[in-house]
Structure 1
Amino acid sequence: MLFKRRSPKQFRERGCRREEVTSIDDTCTNNNQTTWTYNQGVILSGLALLYNATHNSTLISIAQKIADATIQRLTYSNGILKEPCEPTCDDDQKLFKGIFVRHLAYLLFYLTDTFHIQKYTTFLQQNAVSVWTMNRCELDGLFGLVWNNDSCNSCESSRDSATTSAGLDLFIAVASIKQQAAVSSNWKLLGQGNCIDDQNFTMPNFYRNEVNETVCRMTASADSGAIAYDYQLNCVGIGFCRIRTLSSRSQTPSGWTYENGIAHNVTRTDKMVLTNCFLRTNST
């Protein structure tokens, strides 16, 4: 079987048989069938292993294009992974998202591009938070099909061993990511939890509700006084950002609130599991 490209989106279909190849350059044509998440996943680890054997960087570039297209096209508006058959999928299709995230995590081990390392790490972490806080049934501990439910602790009727297996694949993928995979050019992941200063005192903060993580990071990067920031997505999908800063009240960004305090160096976190503390790499 040959994987075929859906240009320009870089998706992969289930494949075509060699006898179906009719073009002079032996390429497959798009069959316009459903684009499943698992088809985008299984090729990622294959390309990564081929790169490891050949050191051909083009293979990693292809893998990143496939992963990027999946994150752009096969997700809900808030970046949570979506299977095209949702909310009604058969027993096989219920497993597909787990396959994708598992192989995306495999790919991460072979990446050196800090932008994509951070992008894929954040994607996996955000999906894990959404599944745990919005998709886990407290009655039996099973995970449902749709990872982007609108209510906490959903007990949707589709939950079973297949949907739970996909959810567990996601948590294993997040757990397998090396700590250094969460490093970017400006920020490093200090740990899980709100940022705490070295003397456990209150620090000056810029904070804002109903904000996404991209805006949170961009605002922190634009603030020359920012020491660290933490971002949290709660169980109803509302994002909260707090930027630990040495800047004054007069420098508060538009739409943000200033909270006074005494600033010290950030050295640790309080280990709250649904929040990540990012430390500025050039902070002192």
Structure 2
Amino acid sequence: MDRSRGGTCVNNNGTTWTYNQGVILTGLALLANVTRNVTLLDFAQKIADATIQRLIYSDRILKEPCEPNCNDDQKLFKGIFVRHLAYLIPYLTDAAHIKQYVSFIQQNAETVLTSRRCEIDGLYGVIWSNQSFNSCDSSRNTSSTSAAWDLFIAAAKTKPQSSMSSSNWTWLGLGNCMDDKGAYMPNFNKINVTETECRTTAEQDQGAVAYDHQLGCPGYQYCRIRTLSDPHHGPPGWSYENNTATNVTRTNKLPVTSCYLRVV
């Protein structure tokens, strides 16, 4: 913001780092969610679009302007961008943009995972494009590897819905299951439950409408089966929580939780 120009935003003609384009995406998404101002999401999409169209190699793989001679801080920047791009996606409603961003993240992750890992020490270099033929270049260290893992986590969070669904359950979105008024259904819940066990238990509950599975700190997983069943007929070892909703139509967008809706 330049006060000498009446408080208008102007380009400082500095280097366009990827992380600067990333951190604002989450801020705009959260602000749009609170204010219901969808124009903020339009701004976020324009920033994301410009980044994945301009800060790339010819194979559409993300590129930092300093490559290949980035310092340890700069080696983290691309990971920050893709992390926040993944945070933005659940707040979007435009299918074309969602598909574009998911595809970009998945393509980058596949390229890095399959061709950029140094077999000598398991580290990843700063260059993600496979146009660099040396996967064990001297740029690799914990900073560049941390950025690669940010990318892998972003890819895991945004994997296509088809791979997150089954014939009986469909992925509704990131976050806890709720209705249009933001209310939650009664639920059977249990800590330290894998997603597979969560789904299997929900399958056995005839009154189950949906379930959400939450990942927390290492070793922490939490399952809630949103149900219409009698509280006395719950699965052994599970707790019951009473709530007011009678159906599930949306989620609260929490990034570490996924909601699955039963297909009737």
**What per-residue deviation string (whole Å, max 9, x for no partner) do you get for residues 100-125 of structure 1?**
00000000010111101100000000
Q: 1:90 aligns with which of 71, 76, 92?
A: 71
- Alpha-carbon separation, structure 2, partners of 1:28 and 1:43: 15
State the partner residue of 2:30: 49
CA distance in 1, matches of 2:63, 2:36: 33
Give CA deviations for 1:213-265 in whole Å, capped at 9, x if unaligned.
Answer: xxxxxxxxxxxxxxxxxxxxxxxxxxxxxxxxxxxxxxxxxxxxxxxxxxxxx
The equivalent of 1:117 in structure 2 is 98
Give unpaired runs (5+ residues) of structure 2. Answer: 165-264
Cα distance in 2 for partners of 1:98, 1:33 equals 20
Q: Among the aligned pairs, what percent are the same residue?
A: 65
State the match for 2:50 in structure 1. Answer: 69
User: Residues of 1 paired with 2:115 and 2:134: CA distance?
Assistant: 5
1:153–1:125: structure 2 CA closer, same or farther, 3 Å change rule?
Answer: farther
Q: Deviations over 1:16-39 (max 9, x none)?
A: xxxx42123x11321111000000
* Structure-1 residue corresponding to 2:4: 22
The reply to whether residue 175 of structure 1 matches residue 156 of structure 2 is: yes
Do 2:82 and 2:150's aligned partners in 1 also have CA atoms closer than 8 Å?
Answer: yes
CA positional deviation for 1:179: 3.9
Q: CA deviation at 1:78?
A: 1.2
Find the residue that maps to 2:5 and give its secondary structure.
coil
Contact 2:106 2:159 in 1 (8 A): no
The whole-number CA distance in structure 2 between the counterparts of 1:119 and 1:102 is: 15
Name 2:123's counterpart in structure 1: 142
CA contact (8 A) 1:36 1:83 kept: yes
Say if 1:134 and 1:151, in contact at 8 Å, map to a contact too: no
How many Å apart are 1:176 and its aligned residue? 1.2
Sort the Cα spacing of 1:92 and 1:151 in 2 relative to 1 into closer, same or farther, 3 A.
closer
TM-score, normalization by structure 1: 0.55
CA distance in 1, matches of 2:133, 2:111: 9
Q: Deviations over 1:158-206 (max 9, x none)?
A: 10000000000000001112643xxxxxxxx458xxxxxxxxxxxxxxx
Residues 1-284 of structure 1: pairs in structure 2 closer than 5 A: 2=1, 20-24=2-6, 26-150=7-131, 154-177=135-158, 179-180=160-161, 189=162
Normalised by the length of structure 2, the TM-score is 0.59
Counterpart-to-counterpart distance in 2, 1:114 and 1:28: 30
Cα–Cα, structure 1 residues 162 and 179, in superposed 2: closer, same or farther, change >3 Å? Answer: same
Conservation of the 8 A alpha-carbon contact between 1:134 and 1:153? no
Q: 1:96 to 1:52 in 2, by over 3 A?
A: same
Change (3 A) 1:168 1:73: same
C-alpha contact (below 8 Å) 2:102/2:160 kept by paired residues? no
Counterpart-to-counterpart distance in 2, 1:154 and 1:135: 5
Q: How far 1:153 sits from its partner (Å)?
A: 7.1
Q: Which amino acid aligns with 1:81?
A: L
Q: What's the RMSD between the two structures over aligned residues?
A: 1.6
Q: Is the 8 A contact 2:126 2:144 kept in 1?
A: yes
Work out the CA distance in 2 between the residues paired with 1:145 and 1:162: 8
